[in-house]
Amino acid sequence: MSETVLMKGNEAVAEAALRAGLDFYAAYPITPQTEILEYLSKKMPELGRVCVQADSEITAINMIMGAAYTGKRVLTSSAGPGISLKQEGLSYCAANDLPVVYVDVQRGGNGLANMGSCQTEYKREVTGGGNGDYHAIILAPASVQETADMVSLAYELAEKYRNIVGIMTEATIGQLVEPVTFKEAVDPASLPVPSWAKTGKMISSSDEPIKPRIKDAKPKADRAKYFQMKEEVQMWESTNVDDADYVVFAFGAPSRVVYDALLILREEGQKIGMIRPQTLWPYPEKALEELKEDVKGLISLETNCTGQMLPDVALARDLHFKDRHVPVYSCAYIVLDRIPTVMQVVDDIKAIISGQTEEAY
């Protein structure tokens, strides 16, 4: 382990990726992720690696696709509308089983969106995003340290499953300065060349070109892979759930507010727990095994106005509680330019406990 340093979340993404053996990065500036591009545009040439400031998010995803085809560790990053532009490229990466990693530092809202710290990209990220029939593994860090840790994890998972991995942070996590300790650096030259990498050699005549598109085997293998990832990749952190009457589901920056709210509510004698999903796809359905049998309600808490995570909490509930109805409530914060305060969360949870809030599902 190296020394602990103070760093912004976005810079931690960049530094952690370099240490994980990043060969190639391409991106286009957009707030609140631009520090990743700025950091890498300085550091990568010093290390003899390649950073390209692309002319758009579309060309950036296609550039990293090219490098990924040859087995390199690649990264692109963006926010809001920029990630929208990458969806066709990501779908092609899925079609060709390319283990690309991308970072979405969410901004808030539709269209141009604002600079708020929001979770308005949940729905797009967890459903795959582009056309077709695939999922990216989506990791959601809640601190700068966890951001750095998830970057190296992202490369492990991407290569293990030959799948896209997205790290979904948000403005607050990207801009937050916190202590962080990085893993030892890996030299990309020391990484083995994956067996599937395109090295420029002729394809043996027995190989079908463009394999993934024309063989029936591909959709079957995909289905098996997505079920396997669902089984093996779920990650979450739980706080005080064993005796909790109500359990809040919250990820990323708002989960830190919920944590403080739980302390206040505990002092007041309310038994509230939290499950913090660290993977949003696959959703940590297994976390519900930790809940007590007579839990009174589940709360989906997030910073977007439609309650994008809410259906996933309801589905997880249905999967776990087969014999009785456990209500699911929604706390969706529609103030797009800030995350809720601790007291706001305390009040909203109290309103649920006292029956003033209607269940959502």
The least CB distance from residue 48 to other proteins, in Å, is: 11
Distance separating alpha carbons of residues 355 and 72, to the nearest angstrom? 54
Q: Compute and round to an integer the Cα radius of gyration of the chain.
A: 21
The smaller minimum CB distance to other proteins, of residues 209 and 355, is found at 209
Q: For other proteins, how many residues bind (rule: CB under 8 A)?
A: 37
DSSP string, 47-95: TT-EEEE-SSHHHHHHHHHHHHHTT--EEEEE-HHHHHHTHHHHHHHHH
Stretch that binds other proteins, among 90-98, 216-224, 257-265, 339-347 (CB under 8 A): 90-98
Binding mask 195-214 for other proteins (x = CB under 8 A): ---xxxxxx-x---xx--x-
Q: Return the DSSP state at 285.
A: G
Residue of 8, 43, 72, 271 interacting with other proteins (CB under 8 A):
72
Residue 48 vs 355, nearer CB to other proteins: 48
Which residues are paired to 138 by β-bridges?
Answer: 166, 281
> Which member of 54, 79, 153, 258 binds other proteins (CB under 8 A)?
54
Minimum CB separation of residue 234 from other proteins in Å reads 31
- Nearest alpha carbon to residue 37 among 66, 67, 60, 58: 60
Least distance from C-beta 76 to other proteins, angstroms? 10
- Closer CB to other proteins, residue 61 or residue 331? 61
Q: Binding to other proteins (CB under 8 A): which residues in 171-200?
A: 198-200
Element (H, E) at 165: strand 165-170
Classify residue 79 as exposed, middle or buried by CB count within 10 Å of its CB (0-12, 13-18, 19+): buried
Taking the least distance from each CB to other proteins, the nearer of 203 and 263 is 203
Cβ-based neighbours of 70, under 8 Å, separated by 6 or more: 197, 198, 199, 200
d(CA 8, CA 26): 20
Among 41, 85, 88, 321, interactor with other proteins by CB under 8 A = 88
Q: How far is the CB of 170 from other proteins (least distance, A)?
A: 28
Provide the token pair at 252.
């990323």
Instruction: Check binding of 89 to other proteins (CB under 8 A).
Output: yes
Residue 336 beta carbon to other proteins: minimum distance, rounded to whole angstroms: 31
What minimum distance in Å lies between the beta carbon of 13 and other proteins? Answer: 20
Cβ of residue 205: shortest distance to other proteins, in angstroms? 7
252, 170 Cβ separation under 8 angstroms: yes
Buried/exposed 32-60: b ≥16 CB within 10 Å, e otherwise: bbbbbbbbbeebbeeeebbbbebeebbeb
Residues near other proteins (CB under 8 A): 23-24, 26, 50, 52, 54-56, 58-60, 62-70, 72, 74, 88-89, 92, 95-96, 198-203, 205, 209-210, 213
